[in-house]
Amino acid sequence: METTGYVTLSRQTGLMREMQVVANNIANSATTGYRQEGLIFSEFIQSTPGQSSISMSRANIRNTSAEQGALTQTNGTFDLAIEGDGYFKVETPMGERLTRAGAFSPNADGDLVTADGNRVLDAGGSPVFVPGDAETINIAPDGTISADGNPLGQIGLFMPTEPHTLVREDGVMFRVDGDVEETDQAKILQGFVEGSNVNAISQLARMIEIQRAYEMGQSFLETEDQRIRNAIKNLIK
């Protein structure tokens, strides 16, 4: 394969990866706490003696949108939404993780957990306990949780000290390859959940653009392949 083929193939590979990211965004456009993901393309340029430089692209770096998702009122006692920049911290079998999905509920032991059964952690890193015999549970904007008017603890809100260390592990769960610190730049809303921040219309439009760009690249590869075949035929005549 000549240089033109390798250059085009590098672009096609990046477009395929972006298509997977966009498709995943659209599939999660109704997922509570989901944050839209994007792909960053990087360009590598190599000079060649006596010829024009060669430019190839890669698309291996993903970035997560920090845009606020729409807040929906549910009036659920343990439905919590974050307004502002911050994440809940939860305990998973793989270690502590961050999430914006705040549709919680108490388990049989009284621990506040996610839909997957992961325990929600307070500001000190301990599980949040909810007494089963409490008649009223109130959660203040700063995360203070009270049962029948008696403070029990404080649900923590956290942020990575370096935003680029936030790594998505699945739809709504993030790992931090670095340090995490408490934040006071956000507040908790009881009785609300945060919806996905995916703009489905723009993502559908982008999917069409990617498909057309991929088809154009495929057409170029086929034309280049035919050109090389014809050149070889002429040489061996």
In this prediction, residue 237 carries a pLDDT of 67
Residue 218 binned pLDDT confidence (cut-offs 50, 70, 90): confident
In this prediction, residue 41 carries a pLDDT of 75
Higher pLDDT: 58 or 22? It is 22
In this prediction, residue 148 carries a pLDDT of 93
> What's the whole-number mean pLDDT along residues 76-104?
95
Specify which of 32-36, 168-172, 211-215 reaches the highest per-range mean pLDDT. Answer: 32-36
pTM over 0.95: no
Supply the mean pLDDT for the chain: 88
Higher pLDDT: 230 or 202? It is 202
Spell out the alpha helix ranges (H) of the chain. Answer: 3-27, 200-236
Residue 162 DSSP one-character state: S
Query: Model confidence over 109-161: pLDDT tens digits?
Result: 999 999 999 999 998 899 999 998 889 999 999 999 999 999 999 999 999 99
Q: Supply 64's token pair.
A: 């997560």
Query: Model confidence over 165-202: pLDDT tens digits?
Result: 899 988 899 999 999 999 988 999 999 999 999 999 99
Higher pLDDT: 184 or 220? It is 184
In this prediction, residue 228 carries a pLDDT of 74
3-state secondary structure 49-104: CCEEEEEEEEEEEEEECCCCCCEEECCCCCEEEEEECCEEEEEECCEEEEECCCEC
Residue 227 binned pLDDT confidence (cut-offs 50, 70, 90): confident
22: exposed, middle or buried (Cβ count in 10 Å: 0-12, 13-18, 19+): buried
- The residue written with tokens 């559908």 in the block is 204
Distances from the Cα of 6 to the Cαs of 60, 166, 198, 213, 227, in angstroms? Answer: 17, 32, 33, 16, 15
